[in-house]
Structure 1
Amino acid sequence: MLALKLPSFEDYELIDSGNFKKLERFGQFILSRPEPQAIWSPALSEAEWAKKAQAVFNRKTGAATNAEDGNWELKPGMPEQWHIRYDFEGMHLNFRLGLTSFKHVGIFPEQAENWNYIYRGLRKMDIDHPVVLNLFAYTGGASLAAKAAGADVVHVDSVKPVVSWARQNMEASQLDNIRWTVEDALKFVRKEAKRGRKYQAIILDPPAYGRGPEGEKWLLDKHLPELLEHCGQILDPEHHLLILNLYSMGFSALIAENLARQYFPFAKNMECGELFIPDQAGRKLPLGVFARFAQG
């Protein structure tokens, strides 16, 4: 079981965490956001947080309010959009960040460890232009890493504005020719399995719940096994890479490992564990579990 910390990331750091919040630097700007797993006390005082934070996300309250909804309180000079950069070996990625109404900013920094794994794994693969499927692909960090490694990439997400955001990140990173698909992930892999398609890499970032573009309901507990069953049918058993990320607080790394072993019986070199980011006081903030494997 592995605990993988954030790799070197010049444009990001977790300054402090606690009281169900995190204080983060993205580029030159410092943000305060809710974090349900930071149950300890912060290292810095409330006054220090207030002084440092240039944008603070406040949840909306009320019975009719979505638990993720809220608004940002901005200090003068804090933009609503800006760019940051991530570099690893020959990979140079640029991300457009933005302050959304559901606390996210367009990037999950802890996934940088998986971007490195994708980039290295695909470059080692003994096949020209491996084909990569990125499901629940959001703003495309994994898609960009795969493209930078020379792969042909199919990027699938059910939210059209998010796919447009990913396209902007591709262009900012001076990459091109990613195939964009606005579709329900489960519906997409069902069709690919029927067609007999094969992919050399599959990246899955399923949420706990969600909606497809035509109102399709996604529930992690109910639909994940079927999704993985179809992915097992379309992943190349000879040349392959797979990453399964799970963010639901009820799912452990052992669950991710058990699912991966069940639906991908040919998998070797399996790794599973937690992703975390240390703050400046040395506390390790857990930010999801994973199972992954690769064979070239």
Structure 2
Amino acid sequence: MRSTDDYELLDSGNGQKLERFGPVILARPCAQAVWQPKHPELWDSANATFDRKDGLNWHGRERLPEEWVVTARGVRMRLSTTDFGHLGIFPETLDLWEWIAGRIGEAGAQGAQPPRFLNLFAYSGGATLAAARAGGQCCHLDASKGMVEWARGNAALNGLQDAGIRFIVDDVGAFLKREVRRGRKYDCVLLDPPSFGRGKRGELYKVEKNVQETLELVRQVLSDTPLFVLLTSHTPGFTPIVLRNLLEQTFGAGDLSCGEMLLRGGEGVMDLPSGTWGRWEAKC
């Protein structure tokens, strides 16, 4: 958590997380939070809560604005409550946004051409916009037309509507196969495959079955001078070592690292694991 961010983890425990998104405080489920809350006095400050008891339910949703804007790692993002409990941002990825921006900025300063960044399963565009702000030439892909439009709106919020970002609604596999045929290459790739999802035309995606094929297609669209491939996951059982092994098997020799994505708060607030990441970087 950065002091300049509008996001803050306030507390966690009893299977829930208490978070601040700008002026809005929300309590939502979190299976990893099996401990007791450290700050029980804070939980009554929640403007609304979400749970999965007897379906998907918001409580106090009518007290929230229809949408609001927060800034995280210098990127402005429009938030809104969805029926699934999502808001349009996954704050556990903020440290990755910062790393991506730093790596792209460094490479751009050293090269004649801006690094070409491909974001797959890209959601509402936080990482895409962080990369674009750092000078990357970005392609943003998601199977959901609604999420791609949300990302376009976020680009406009950041003054990046004319930054040349390619926004694409498509199935990841179909898109990558088309890029292979066209010979189009990318220097860096981020992908966050879902545990289960459907493509633009209803194509079924199950991470256990499809992730290796996806990574092989990513390998085929990497440039001759790649920077990195960053793989993230919220799938139970996909530990950091699992992601690292997948990357090593697909991309071979390189600098490999992995870890947990974390929700972070201020001093005295316990970090909350929320997914995993693995990273392959080309050896210098």
TM-score (norm 2): 0.91
1:190-231 Cα offsets, whole Å, 9 max, x none, are: 221232221011110111010111110010000000000110
Equivalent position of 2:262 in the other structure: 276
Distance 2:42 2:75 in 1: 32
Equivalent position of 2:8 in the other structure: 13
Deviation at 1:282?
3.4
Distance 2:24 2:218 in 1: 39
Map residues 244-263 of structure 1 onto 2, 5 A cutoff.
Answer: 244-263=231-250
Equivalent position of 1:107 in the other structure: 89
Deviation at 1:55?
1.4
1:222 aligns with 2:204: no
CA separation of 1:48 and 1:129: change in aligned 2, threshold 3 A: closer
Distance 1:122 1:238 in 2: 13
Asked if 1 retains the 8 angstrom alpha-carbon contact of 2:48 and 2:58, the reply is: no
Greater relative contact order, per chain length (Cα 8 Å cut-off, separation 6+): 1
Amino acid at match of 1:271: S
Amino acid at match of 2:87: V
Deviation at 1:127?
4.2
Amino acid at match of 2:178: K
Equivalent position of 1:57 in the other structure: 50
Distance 2:198 2:4 in 1: 32
1:62-121 Cα offsets, whole Å, 9 max, x none, are: xxx5xxx33342374x3121000124xxxx310000001001111011211111111111
1:137 aligns with 2:122: yes
Amino acid at match of 2:70: I
Aligned residue pairs: how many? 277
Equivalent position of 2:76 in the other structure: 94
Deviation at 1:170?
0.4
Equivalent position of 2:25 in the other structure: 30
Q: Which runs of 5+ in 2 are unaligned?
A: none
Equivalent position of 2:182 in the other structure: 195
1:179 aligned to 162, 166, 178, which one?
Answer: 166
1:120 aligned to 87, 97, 102, which one?
Answer: 102
Deviation at 1:39?
1.2
Distance 1:179 1:187 in 2: 16
Q: Which runs of 5+ in 1 are unaligned?
A: 1-5
1:71 aligns with 2:58: yes
Secondary structure of the equivalent of 1:156?
Answer: strand
Asked if 2 retains the 8 angstrom alpha-carbon contact of 1:58 and 1:73, the reply is: no
Asked if 1 retains the 8 angstrom alpha-carbon contact of 2:176 and 2:218, the reply is: yes
CA separation of 1:207 and 1:9: change in aligned 2, threshold 3 A: farther
Amino acid at match of 1:249: P
Equivalent position of 1:240 in the other structure: 227
Secondary structure of the equivalent of 1:270?
Answer: strand
Asked if 2 retains the 8 angstrom alpha-carbon contact of 1:54 and 1:75, the reply is: no
Distance 2:79 2:32 in 1: 23
TM-score (norm 1): 0.88
Equivalent position of 2:218 in the other structure: 231
CA separation of 1:9 and 1:20: change in aligned 2, threshold 3 A: farther
Deviation at 1:41?
1.5
Amino acid at match of 2:256: M
Asked if 1 retains the 8 angstrom alpha-carbon contact of 2:247 and 2:280, the reply is: no
1:41-78 Cα offsets, whole Å, 9 max, x none, are: 11233x641x20001113251xxx5xxx33342374x3
CA separation of 1:72 and 1:156: change in aligned 2, threshold 3 A: farther
Secondary structure of the equivalent of 1:248?
Answer: coil
Distance 2:4 2:92 in 1: 10
Runs of 4+ in 1 over 3 A off after TM superposition: 6-9, 278-282, 293-296
2:153 aligned to 163, 168, 175, which one?
Answer: 168
